[in-house]
Amino acid sequence: MQVQSQAQVQVQAQEQSPVQVHQHQIWDQLLKQFVSETGLVNYSGFKKNSARLDQYLELLQQNPVQESWSRSQRLAYWINAYNAFTVKLIVDHYPVASIRDIQRPWARKFIHFGDLSYSLDQIENQIIRPEFMEPRIHFALVCAAVSCPNLLNQAYLPEKLNEQLDQQTRYFINESGKNKLSPNLVELSKLFSWYGTDFTERGTLIDFINQYSEQPISDKAKIKYLEYNWDLNDSTFFDVR
């Protein structure tokens, strides 16, 4: 029987790691265990299992995005990374009432890939938005607040990504706690104001909403924006039934 050298074993491990990254298995297991179907998060459970979360983040950090990866592989990687590091930020400061109680939560460079350090803001606004120009990412990226898009209780996967982004967009737009829709008046999440240009590349904001809305909206409908609730989306404080 041929005995493999340590170097050969290491090479094989490195070759297998990208496959593990694209499966996002550890993150998927954590999400299924600690996130409800309605997107409420058991941060206490995440904190008790922080070693598993750190294991997943280390896997991401050891396997940064490669140009050879497909568009879906790269985008799924960045969405999962953004969300997992957001959970990590909350867990490291938990218990906390709001992400905004953490000093400079989106500007702090606590995400490390090799010699490079990133903030959540950089990942969203310097990588994901300009590289992919995909408006639906705004309903996949989370900010740990009640008014934010729900954290999906499964990992984003390259082979399911388009379906998952459609699902999250449709859910967010039609969720009455996030938006209030009627034919002649729409009261929208401030996400649509903050990132307005991302939704109007191919038409008006109403055109974008109508692609996913269960309520047809007039193109002359009046638009208002709702107050944003920054309370932590913690299942401890809400009924998760």
pTM higher than 0.85, yes or no? yes
- Tell me whether strands 116-118 and 111-113 are parallel, antiparallel or unpaired: antiparallel
For the chain (241 residues), the mean pLDDT of every run of 10, in chain order, is 36 51 96 96 97 96 94 98 98 97 98 92 98 98 98 98 98 97 98 98 96 97 98 78 34
Q: What is the DSSP string of 30-45?
A: HHHHHB-TT--B-HHH
134-192 pLDDT, tens per residue? 999 999 999 999 999 999 999 999 999 999 999 999 999 999 999 999 999 999 999 99
pLDDT of residue 20: 82
Mean model confidence pLDDT for the chain: 91
pLDDT of residue 14: 44
pLDDT of residue 115: 86
pLDDT of residue 129: 98
Q: 65 with 78: CB under 8 angstroms?
A: yes
pLDDT of residue 18: 64
3-state secondary structure 185-212: EEEECCHHHHCHHHHCCCCCHHHHHHHH
- Tell me whether strands 185-188 and 111-113 are parallel, antiparallel or unpaired: unpaired
pLDDT of residue 66: 94
